[in-house]
Amino acid sequence: MIKNILLGLLNYFPMTGYDMKQMIDESTAHFWHAHHSQIYTSLREMEKDGWVVSQFIKNEGQPDRRVYTITPEGQKILKEWLAKPMTGLPPIKDEFIVRVFFSAHRDKEEILSELFIQRQLHQQHLAEYGQLDMHIRQKIQIDHRGLLQDARFWKATLDMGKRYEQAYLDWISELIEMVES
Amino acid sequence: MIKNILLGLLNYFPMTGYDMKQMIDESTAHFWHAHHSQIYTSLREMEKDGWVVSQFIKNEGQPDRRVYTITPEGQKILKEWLAKPMTGLPPIKDEFIVRVFFSAHRDKEEILSELFIQRQLHQQHLAEYGQLDMHIRQKIQIDHRGLLQDARFWKATLDMGKRYEQAYLDWISELIEMVES
DNA sequence: TATAACATGTAAGCTGTTACATGATTAC
DNA sequence: GTAATCATGTAACAGCTTACATGTTATA
Q: What is the pLDDT of residue A29?
A: 85
State whether the beta carbon of B61 lies below 7 angstroms from any atom of strand C.
no
Nearest residue of chain B to residue A147 (CA atoms): B104
Q: Is A35 exposed, middle or buried (0-12, 13-18, 19+ CB in 10 A)?
A: exposed
Q: By the CB < 8 Å criterion, does A36 face chain B?
A: no
Q: What is the DSSP letter of A64?
A: P
Sheet holding A52-57, edge to edge: A15-16, A65-70, A52-57
Query: How many angstroms separate the CA atoms of B136 and B138, rounded?
Result: 6
Regions of chain B with pLDDT less than 70: 60-61, 133-145
Q: Does A179 touch chain B (CB under 8 A)?
A: no
What pLDDT score does B64 carry? 86
How many residues are there in chain A? 181
Positive or negative, the CA dihedral A93, A97, A102, A108 is positive
- Cα of A92 to nearest chain B Cα, Å: 5
Q: Print pLDDT tens along chain A (181 aa).
A: 999 999 999 999 999 999 999 999 988 888 999 999 999 999 999 999 999 999 998 876 677 899 999 999 999 999 999 999 999 999 999 999 999 999 999 999 999 999 999 999 999 999 988 877 666 666 666 566 677 889 899 999 999 999 999 999 999 999 999 999 8
Please, what is the end-to-end C-alpha distance for chain B in angstroms? 44
User: What is the per-residue DSSP string for B97-160?
Assistant: HHHHHT-TTS-HHHHHHHHHHHHHHHHHHHHHHHHHHHHHHHHHHHH-GGGHHHHHHHHHHHHH
pLDDT of residue B63: 79
Alpha-carbon distance B11 to B27, whole Å?
16
Closest CA to B158 of B133, B125, B123, B121: B133
Distance CA A1, CA B155 (A): 33
Chain A, residues 65-84, CB within 8 A of chain B, namely 78, 82-83
Q: Which amino acid does the sequence have at B154?
A: W
Bridge partners (DSSP) listed for residue A57: A65
Determine the Cα–Cα distance for residues A49 and A63; give it in Å rounded to an integer.
Answer: 27
Q: Give the model's pLDDT for residue B139.
A: 65
Nearest of A47, A10, A49, A31 to residue A153 by alpha carbon = A31
What's the whole-model pTM score? Answer: 0.93
**Residue B141: what pLDDT?**
60
The reply to whether residue B102 touches residue A78, judged by beta carbons under 8 angstroms, is: yes
- Helix, strand or coil for residue A36? helix
A14: exposed, middle or buried (Cβ count in 10 Å: 0-12, 13-18, 19+) = middle
